[in-house]
């Protein structure tokens, strides 16, 4: 693909929809933190509490926010290469982050590992992004 004449595939719309879904996912997680803040009586501006049950809600959201820029970058670049695969990978990442959060919300941090499958989506997007870059550099033509 020649970057100077690149045309955005109509299938990139799937990528955009998944990215919009990811925003709703973040909003849901933020809402859950707000509910936990009220339930466990953690006033603003405190970020964390002596009560680990609240901290599990806060960390699930915070960790997702920490990983979100990487997801967004890889979602866009992989979507430019293979939009349907990228969108599916984004759905897997979002589902994994939801499973991660729900596991964490139990109060047992080990249960956050239920969402480890999110890395399948993230690594797929990483591979597609690398192939996209190599194609732009004319190093390969996959």
| Per-residue pLDDT reduced to its tens digit, 87-135 | 999 999 999 999 999 999 999 989 999 999 999 999 999 999 999 999 9
**CATH class, 19-135 region:** mainly alpha
Q: How many CA atoms lie within 13 A of 65 on its CB side?
A: 12
What pLDDT, on a 0 to 100 scale, did the predictor assign at position 6? 66
Token pair listed for 24: 């709703």
What pLDDT, on a 0 to 100 scale, did the predictor assign at position 140? 76
Q: Three-class SS string for 39-81?
A: HCCCCCCCCCCCCHHHHHHHHHHHHHHHHHHHHHHHHHHHHHH
Token pair listed for 49: 């509490």
Please compute the mean of the pLDDT values over residues 46-50 and round it to a whole number: 91
Secondary element (H or E) of residue 132: helix 118-136
What pLDDT, on a 0 to 100 scale, did the predictor assign at position 7? 80
Closest by CA position to 58, among listed 39, 80, 71, 82: 39
What pLDDT, on a 0 to 100 scale, did the predictor assign at position 2? 54
Write down the residue that tokens 């936990």 correspond to: 36
Q: How many CA atoms lie within 13 A of 1 on its CB side?
A: 15
Please compute the mean of the pLDDT values over residues 77-91 and round it to a whole number: 98
What pLDDT, on a 0 to 100 scale, did the predictor assign at position 42? 95
pTM of this structure: 0.91
What pLDDT, on a 0 to 100 scale, did the predictor assign at position 47? 92
The pLDDT > 70 percentage for the chain reads: 96
As a whole number, the mean pLDDT across the chain is 94
């Amino acid at each position: 693909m020649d970057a100077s004449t690149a045309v955005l595939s109509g299938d990139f719309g799937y990528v955009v929809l998944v990215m919009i879904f990811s925003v709703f996912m973040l909003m849901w997680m933020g809402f859950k933190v707000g509910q936990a803040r009220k339930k466990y009586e953690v006033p603003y501006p405190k970020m964390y509490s002596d009560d680990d049950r609240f901290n599990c809600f806060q960390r699930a959201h915070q960790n997702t926010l920490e990983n979100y820029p990487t997801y967004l970058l890889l979602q866009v670049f992989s979507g430019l290469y293979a939009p349907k695969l990228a969108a599916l990978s984004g759905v897997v990442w979002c589902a994994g982050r939801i499973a991660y959060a729900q596991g964490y919300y139990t109060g047992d941090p080990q249960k956050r590992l239920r969402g480890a499958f999110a890395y399948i989506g993230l690594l797929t997007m990483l591979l597609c992004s690398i192939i996209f870059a190599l194609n732009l550099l004319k190093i390969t033509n996959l």
